[in-house]
Amino acid sequence: MTQTEFLEILTTGESIHVEFKESRDKLPVNLFQTVCAFLNTRGGTIFLGVDDKGRVTGIDPARISKLKKDISNLANNPQKLAPPVVLSIEDIDHQDKTVLLIHVPESSQVHKADGEIFIRNEDGDYRVTQPSEIAKIVNRKQNYYSEKTIISEVNFTDFDSQLITRAKNLIKQNNPVHHWAELDDQDFLVRSGFYRREKGGEEGYILAAVLFFAGDEVIQSVLPAYKFEALLRRQNIDRYDDRISVRTNLLDTYNLLMTFVEKHLNDPFYLEGDQRVSLRSKIFRELVANIIAHREYLNPAPAMIQILPDSIQFTNPNNPVIFGKLDPRNFTPIAKNPIISKFLLQMGLVEEVGSGMRNVYKYLSHYAPGSTAEFIDGEIFRTIIKLPVEAEKTTVKTTVKTTVKTKQKIVDAIRENPKITRKELAAMFSLTIDGIDWNIKELKKEGVLKRIGSKKGGYWEIVSKAWK
């Protein structure tokens, strides 16, 4: 926010979108009632360090860092705010005093502060207790999608032209006559639905555009908690055998998650008619796309893939509609993020809305006989593929063999270059640094490797004759 905008709001005063709260060294008791009210209404900004008359009182400089941390922690505490949400906090200095601006988006969900629902009007925050009033909020939010949130601080220059070109190429490969592929980049974003104009005059690029085309730093500034994770937990159940943590654009996210799935899940031979069909691709590319297309991005919880000894699980924060297990025989698919879903469809990364569930039920018995699938709608959407014990041999690549091969590769690389770094090993074998650390720890425990000298200036020595 600029100084001009700041002064203008101080002069105009509080409104349905603006709340002043005086605070010197601690958070106001009713702060999260206002956060909740903004989330449940049309969003807004809280000016912490400004009194009711618009006079800047300021925050104690020694307490700014602590107050920011408290706000973030409480916003992620479901006992205080449910469901939790990511809040953006901005400093602004005025006449040697600091004000904290807490930017609260409109949410696609109904939130509670301390177990109660609040909404906003011109007079401030008020508690909602009547079932009819709560029903009105729910009905209004069923037509709201957080992917459409205008991110006013993002401009066209924040987007990566190479990502836009990749998206155009995927669309053209999927549909050679699609007219979007021939548009210039700015027109392409507008025609694809990534630029929005509201009736009130506000316009700009939306959250979905940031997720697909912005650089990593921009994405993290807009959504600090944004993350996808994939974990292999077959031997080391408490931690993991392999892991990737992804905080990048959705195009690369899809590819990285699919690469992880392909790395750890087999693809049994299967013919459909006289044509070879990849069962792994049919089932899991749709499930990977689902946790991208249907997650609630304002919720700080990560979307996650876990490959376990007896199941494969996909989870993502969600704006629930049905609650409970979905019945494939009586199920109408609903796009939680229509723009993201439509764009994935245009690029050929999904077949159509609802195809993920259908493909799982169609192909799962061929992929792993005796397996079952559950789709559970809730604050966290869960897809659980349960594997019978005998199916592990045909579905999950044997971790023991994979681990032995990885150890051998690490030893071979160290033999070639004793000063090789953990980061270089991770890049060489497409593992996380944590994964390299785990393997090296095991090799040291087995008496294969020994570190000589310091972490930075030292080198590795192969001490086991069997591995030399």
What is the DSSP secondary-structure string of 152-220?
TT--GGGB-HHHHHHHHHHHHHH-TT-GGGGS-HHHHHHHTT-EEE-TTS-EEEBHHHHHHHB-HHHHH
In a domain, 147, yes or no: no
In a domain, 8, yes or no: yes
Distances (CA, A) of 263 to 273, 396, 397: 27, 9, 8
Last residue of a domain, one of 205, 222, 239: 222
**Single-letter code of the amino acid located at 115:** G
In a domain, 310, yes or no: yes
CB atoms within 10 A of CB 296: 26
β-pairing, 242-246 with 228-232?
Answer: antiparallel
One domain for residues 238 and 361: yes
Query: Domain with 243 in it: what CATH number?
Result: 3.30.565.60
In a domain, 355, yes or no: yes
Distances (CA, A) of 192 to 315, 333, 348, 457: 28, 22, 15, 52
One domain for residues 387 and 251: yes
pLDDT at 368: 86
In a domain, 379, yes or no: yes
β-pairing, 112-113 with 81-82?
Answer: antiparallel
Query: Domain with 99 in it: what CATH number?
Result: 3.30.950.30
Last residue of a domain, one of 222, 253, 273: 222
β-pairing, 303-307 with 228-232?
Answer: parallel
Q: Are 44 and 17 in contact (CB under 8 A)?
A: yes
Residue span of the structural domain in which 460 resides: 399-467
**Single-letter code of the amino acid located at 5:** E
> Cα–chain-centroid distance for residue 35?
22
One domain for residues 235 and 369: yes
Q: How many domains does the chain have?
A: 4
SS3 376: strand
One domain for residues 182 and 298: no
Q: Are 258 and 288 in contact (CB under 8 A)?
A: yes
Query: Domain with 449 in it: what CATH number?
Result: 1.10.10.10
The CA distance from 188 to 191, in Å, is 5
One domain for residues 251 and 386: yes
Average pLDDT per block of 10 residues along the chain, 468 residues long: 87 90 91 93 90 91 91 90 87 91 86 92 84 78 79 93 94 85 91 86 91 95 93 83 92 92 86 83 90 90 93 90 75 79 88 72 87 88 85 55 73 89 81 77 85 84 72
Last residue of a domain, one of 80, 109, 141: 141
One domain for residues 237 and 368: yes
Query: Quick one: tokens of 240?
Result: 């993991």
Q: Are 14 and 121 in contact (CB under 8 A)?
A: no
One domain for residues 301 and 347: yes
One domain for residues 271 and 249: yes
Greatest CA span in the chain, whole angstroms? 79
Buried b (16+ CB within 10 A) or exposed e, 105-142: bbbbbbbbbeeebbbbeeeebeebeeeeeeeebeeebe
pLDDT at 86: 78
Nearest Cα to 241, choosing from 451, 401, 427, 413? 401
One domain for residues 264 and 125: no
pLDDT at 464: 74
pLDDT at 46: 94
Nearest Cα to 91, choosing from 62, 68, 57, 73? 68
Nearest Cα to 396, choosing from 282, 263, 287? 263
- Cis, peptide link before residue 309, omega less than 30° from 0: no
One domain for residues 135 and 103: yes
Strand partners, 372: 386
Query: Quick one: tokens of 210?
Result: 């940031």
Nearest Cα to 28, choosing from 46, 7, 6, 55? 46
One domain for residues 168 and 305: no
pLDDT at 238: 79
In a domain, 252, yes or no: yes
Tokens 């200095």 locate to: 93
One domain for residues 428 and 312: no
The CA distance from 139 to 56, in Å, is 38
